[in-house]
Amino acid sequence: MTVPAQTTSRWLLFVHQLPSHPSNLRVRTWRRLQQIGALTIKQAVCVLPDTPAAREAFGLLKTEVSSAGGSASVFAAETIDRWSDDTLLEEFRKSRQDAYGALARDVEKQLKRTRRARTPRVSSTTALPRLLGTFRARLVAIDAIDFFGSAGRDRVIGLIEQLETRNTPAASDTTMHRRRLWVTRPRPGVDRIASAWLIRRFIDPDARFGFAMDRETVPEQGVPFDMSGVEFSHHGEGCTFETLCTVFDIRDDAVARVAAIVHELDLKDAQFAPPEAPTVAAMIQGLQLANTDDDALLAQGMTMVESLYRSFAQSARAPAPRPLARLKKQGSR
């Protein structure tokens, strides 16, 4: 989603007014603006680089605000009063730079804990892969809204790699899970659909899928997933997709972005809140409404996740040194 600074000459403004009720609309709107990387330049006025993704994001937010009784408008502008293009660019860089810095501090804290622990506890060895997944998901979430290549990303990558090197979990042997029947509950939602895609993409290329109401009705040779009381299901604060990533040691930036979306839609705990989540939720709902057959629903959903994964993989860029943001004095705007 990077926008080359030298070609960006237009900005997109989001101007909104929120009603007093519902009371949580203000929080939801603020959180959504944070998720899409918008910069607040004055009260109720936010800005993004003018891109198709920004137009879509502001359009969806405008619809949400209007349906709740508020008002919102979206404007394209070549310049913004009292703000030069360079000043806005540096403000965006500073914001993402701060986010990278906060993530780097969290990873450093975990590194210090692992260095102090001579003999890791069993609980820590099982929790660490999930924590690494959280760090990677936070990194890709920041990177997705780092429009102008802010400093700090490379340092975070290096710290996460250090943590992975010191604490590489033993991956499950995938050979025992080849050519298997994988069984989940009927009417699959986002976690079951994405998990099935992950299984066939990274674990069992010849996987077959079936459905059962619970683990007691799973065929004897079947491998249950996303069911109560089975190995490949929710554990701790993670969804089934994240459990599979941990158990089979799947490390991939594009998968981490998919994981953040699945986690948000399945658990709704605002831990990652990726900007793509509402669109994916609408697509899943549409597939469920369009398909009464669970096999067709699962197959079409897996195709959707594959398309999402390829898009994320295509947009991934090689890390390059980032310049430090240099904010201009307030009086220069």
Report the pLDDT value the prediction gives residue 45, as an integer from 0 to 100.
94
Distance CA 257, CA 310 (A): 11
**Where residue 320 falls among pLDDT bands split at 50, 70, 90?**
very low
Give me the DSSP letters along 199-224: IIIII-TT-EEEE-SSGGGS-TTEEE
Domain match, 207 and 290 both: yes
Domain span including residue 21? 8-81
Distances (CA, A) of 113 to 7, 106, 107, 120: 44, 11, 10, 10
Q: For residue range 124-154, list pLDDT tens digits in order.
A: 444 666 678 788 888 888 988 999 989 999 9
- 116 and 76 part of one domain: no
Residue 192 lies in a domain: yes
Looking at the fold, whether 72 and 98 belong to one and the same domain comes out as no
Q: Which domain CATH number covers 49?
A: 3.30.70.240
Q: Is residue 326 part of a domain?
A: no
Verify that 195 and 295 share a domain, yes or no: yes
| Least reliable range by pLDDT among 19-23, 227-231, 246-250 | 19-23
292 and 202 co-located in one domain: yes
| pLDDT tens-place string over residues 236-286 | 788 999 999 988 889 898 999 999 999 999 998 877 878 899 999 999 999
* Segment 75-109, tens digit of pLDDT: 999 888 778 888 899 999 999 999 999 999 999 99
Which of 264, 234, 245 is closest to 131 using CA atoms?
Answer: 245
Same domain, 179 and 266: yes
With 0.75 as the threshold, say if the pTM is over it: no
Element (H, E) at 49: strand 45-49
Whether residues 300 and 251 fall in one domain: yes
257 within 8 A of 139, measured Cβ to Cβ: no
Highest mean pLDDT: which range of 56-65, 132-141, 157-166: 56-65
Domain co-membership, 139 together with 185: no
Number of domains in the chain: 3
Say yes or no: 233 and 285 in one domain. yes
